[in-house]
């Protein structure tokens, strides 16, 4: 092969920088072509177009359908993407897999800047050749491509939304600082639906499916630099480029917390088990080692995504593990104390000054030892007096405020007090509130104001432990 030929081929291959740039375009396109858009509500392309209209996307929309005649959902339609003859930042492809290769070439002719292929029917069902064609064409024409076999992207700010899930079936989150990346569409959509009902809000959602061109490492590189993203959630089953992923993760974890849930933990051990090491250090264990070593926060379950996000978006970093517990219900304080220790934390001890101050400020029925049992009739004044003292105690690194709204003294004024201290003091605070509809109202009130509220002491302790673990990592790496 002649040297100039090799060079030419290399020039055609998408670099990591090209893919990061492609993601940025995908997330904030001025114009979107939806290929496979249809008037028929059973078609994926119909749902995608309808969603763009529902969420109020303000850029240009071009429905494309080979059989189109007239308008689709009120918009002028095109039989072929090359007929549009205007700039196209993003093409969303929702047509059968066998037609997609041809379409990529047409996208190139039409000057498309980025592509999301939501269609399935590629390597995941053994159609390796079709997927390889997609990869080769995307590289040949230098068009960054996400998918196939994915839900695509969603950006709450730019209102791009390629998800083929109708807005009445899945709630869309409010705008926030968490970005969520999922290899799996199912984990992605169900988690998204839960996040929508949480107070912290979402910045971006990226479902990348088969990762044929843009993979998890590219997405990590992109989100690490994205200013709207404060916390990254990752669901992965595997990474394509292990060492590149490590390099990306090393840099990204210094900038923002990355919570990762690895699917496939129980996968059978290594086939080549000649040694103890080989059988003990299987694929999952290798991922686990990478996460520990490079500062990623390990989630055990989908629920961890929510409980970790809450604390990371709202609370300050904290490298100490001495936790004060204040409670208006003695028993839950005991359970809370246990949960600290089972998560590697410890109950703080009050300083002598704090003890004196508490004795003075609180009625005699309140003991001034940890956990501080403020008694069932504690009202906002008692919460306030306690918080005022312990927030200044140098022996305390973080606070768990157990607040049971079933009690006579607990009402919206208590919630307001917690919001006041939780948003102004320098220490992290978590609230534990267990209960039904009355509790739910106050939970919402506090969470919308940036106070993480948990429905069990253990979930709260897990979240605190995650925050402290990551803070310690940062502290060490920045030293």
Partner 1 sequence: MPGKLVDYVEAYKMLGAYEIKAAEAKYVSSAKEAIEFSHGGEPLAMKVISEKALHKSKSGLVRLGLSKPADIEGAFEDLSAKAQKIKPYKILVQKMVKGDKEIIVGGKTDEQFGKLILVGLGGIYVETFKDVAIRVCPINEYDANEMLDQLKSGKIIAPDEQSRKMLTNLLLKVSKFILDHKEIEELDLNPVIIYEGGYCAVDLRLMR
CB 457 → partner 1: shortest distance, Å? 24
Residue 71 in the binding site for partner 1 (CB under 8 A): no
- Residue tagged 């948003």 (tokens): 423
Q: Decide: is 243 part of the binding site for partner 1 (CB under 8 A).
A: yes
Rule CB under 8 A: choose which of 293, 342, 369, 412 binds partner 1: 293
Interface residue with partner 1 among 1, 2, 69, 272 (CB under 8 A) is 272
Under 8 Å between Cβ of 45 and 65: yes
Non-local (6+) Cβ contacts of 302 within 8 A are: 187, 190, 191, 194, 261
Query: From residue 209 to residue 238, what is the string marking binding to partner 1 with x (rule CB under 8 A)?
Result: -----------------------------x
With binding defined as CB under 8 A, does residue 264 bind partner 1?
Answer: no
Place of tokens 């059968």: 96
**Binding segment (CB under 8 A) for partner 1, from list 98-106, 275-283, 325-333, 444-452:** 275-283
Q: Measure the CA–CA gap between 177 and 312, rounded to whole angstroms.
A: 10
CA distance 206 to 195: 14
Classify 94 as helix, strand or coil.
Answer: coil
Query: Residue 247, interface with partner 1 (CB under 8 A)?
Result: no
Residue 292 Cβ vs partner 1, minimum distance, rounded to whole Å: 8
- Give the relative orientation of helices 283-293 and 242-255 as an angle to the nearest 10 degrees: 30
Stretch that binds partner 1, among 37-45, 148-156, 265-273, 428-436 (CB under 8 A): 265-273
What is the C-alpha separation between 190 and 149, in angstroms, rounded? Answer: 17
Number of chain residues interacting with partner 1 (CB under 8 A) = 25
Nearest distance in Å: CB 147, partner 1: 22
Cα 300 from chain centroid (whole Å): 14
Per DSSP, the three-state class of 39 is: coil
For position 124 contacting partner 1 by CB under 8 A, the verdict is no
Q: At its nearest, how many Å lie between partner 1 and the CB of residue 295?
A: 12
Selected binder of partner 1 within 283, 406, 423, 456 (CB under 8 A): 283
Query: What's the CA gap between 469 and 253, in Å, rounded?
Result: 12
289 scored as a contact of partner 1 (CB under 8 A): yes
Rounded Cα distance, 86 and 110, in Å: 8
Task: Determine the straight-line distance between the first and last CA of the chain, rounded to whole angstroms.
Answer: 50
Q: What element of type H or E holds 220?
A: helix 216-225
Q: How far apart are CA 431 and CA 315, in angstroms?
A: 12
254 binds partner 1 (CB under 8 A): no
Nearer to partner 1, 281 or 425 (CB): 281
Query: 291 or 383: whose CB is closer to partner 1?
Result: 291
Told to check if 278 binds partner 1 by CB under 8 A, we report yes
> Which residue stretch of 283-291, 328-336, 398-406, 442-450 sits at the interface with partner 1 (rule: CB under 8 A)?
283-291
Q: Which residues bind to partner 1, rule: CB under 8 A? A: 238-239, 242-243, 246, 270-272, 274-278, 280-281, 283, 285-290, 292-293, 476
């Amino acid at each position: 092969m002649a040297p100039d030929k090799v060079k030419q081929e290399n020039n055609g291959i998408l670099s990591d920088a090209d893919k990061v740039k492609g993601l940025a375009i995908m997330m904030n396109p001025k114009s979107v072509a939806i290929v496979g858009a249809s008037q028929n509500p059973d078609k994926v392309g119909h749902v995608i177009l309808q969603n763009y209209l529902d969420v109020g996307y303000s850029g240009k929309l071009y429905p494309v359908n080979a059989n189109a005649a007239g308008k689709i959902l009120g918009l002028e339609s095109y039989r072929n993407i090359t007929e549009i003859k205007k700039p196209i930042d993003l093409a969303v492809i929702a047509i059968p897999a066998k037609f997609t290769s041809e379409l990529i070439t047409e996208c190139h002719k039409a000057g498309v800047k980025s592509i999301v292929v939501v269609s399935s029917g590629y390597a995941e069902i053994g159609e390796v050749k079709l997927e390889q064609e997609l990869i080769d064409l995307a590289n040949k024409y230098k068009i960054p491509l996400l998918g196939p076999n994915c839900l695509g992207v969603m950006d709450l700010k730019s209102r791009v939304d390629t998800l083929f899930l109708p807005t009445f079936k899945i709630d869309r989150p409010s705008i926030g600082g968490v970005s969520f990346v999922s290899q799996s569409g199912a984990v992605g959509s169900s988690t998204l639906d839960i996040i929508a009902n949480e107070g912290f809000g979402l910045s971006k959602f990226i479902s990348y499916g088969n990762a044929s061109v843009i993979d998890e490492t590219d997405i990590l590189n992109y989100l690490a630099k994205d200013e709207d993203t404060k916390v990254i959630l990752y669901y992965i089953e595997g990474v394509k480029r292990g060492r590149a992923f490590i390099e990306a993760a090393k840099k990204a974890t210094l900038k923002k917390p990355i919570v990762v849930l690895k699917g496939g933990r129980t996968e059978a051990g290594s086939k080549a088990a000649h040694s103890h090491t080989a059988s003990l250090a299987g694929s999952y264990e290798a991922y686990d080692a990478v996460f520990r070593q490079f500062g990623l926060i390990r989630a055990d379950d989908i629920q961890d995504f929510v409980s970790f996000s809450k604390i990371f978006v709202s609370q300050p970093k904290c490298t100490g593990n001495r936790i004060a517990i204040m409670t208006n219900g003695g028993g839950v304080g005991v359970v809370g104390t246990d949960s600290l220790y089972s998560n590697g934390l410890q109950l703080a001890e009050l300083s002598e000054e704090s003890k004196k101050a508490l004795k003075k400020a609180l009625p005699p029925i309140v003991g001034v030892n940890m956990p501080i049992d403020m008694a069932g009739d504690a009202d906002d004044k008692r919460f306030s007096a306690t918080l005022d003292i312990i927030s200044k105690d140098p022996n305390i690194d973080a606070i768990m405020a157990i607040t049971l709204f079933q009690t006579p003294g607990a009402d919206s004024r208590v919630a307001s007090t917690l919001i006041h201290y939780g948003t102004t003091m320098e220490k992290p605070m978590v609230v534990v509130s267990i209960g039904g509809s009355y509790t739910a109202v106050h939970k919402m009130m506090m969470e919308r104001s940036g106070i993480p509220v948990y429905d069990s002491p253990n979930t709260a302790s897990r979240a605190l432990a995650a925050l402290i673990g990551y803070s310690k990592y940062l502290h060490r790496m920045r030293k």
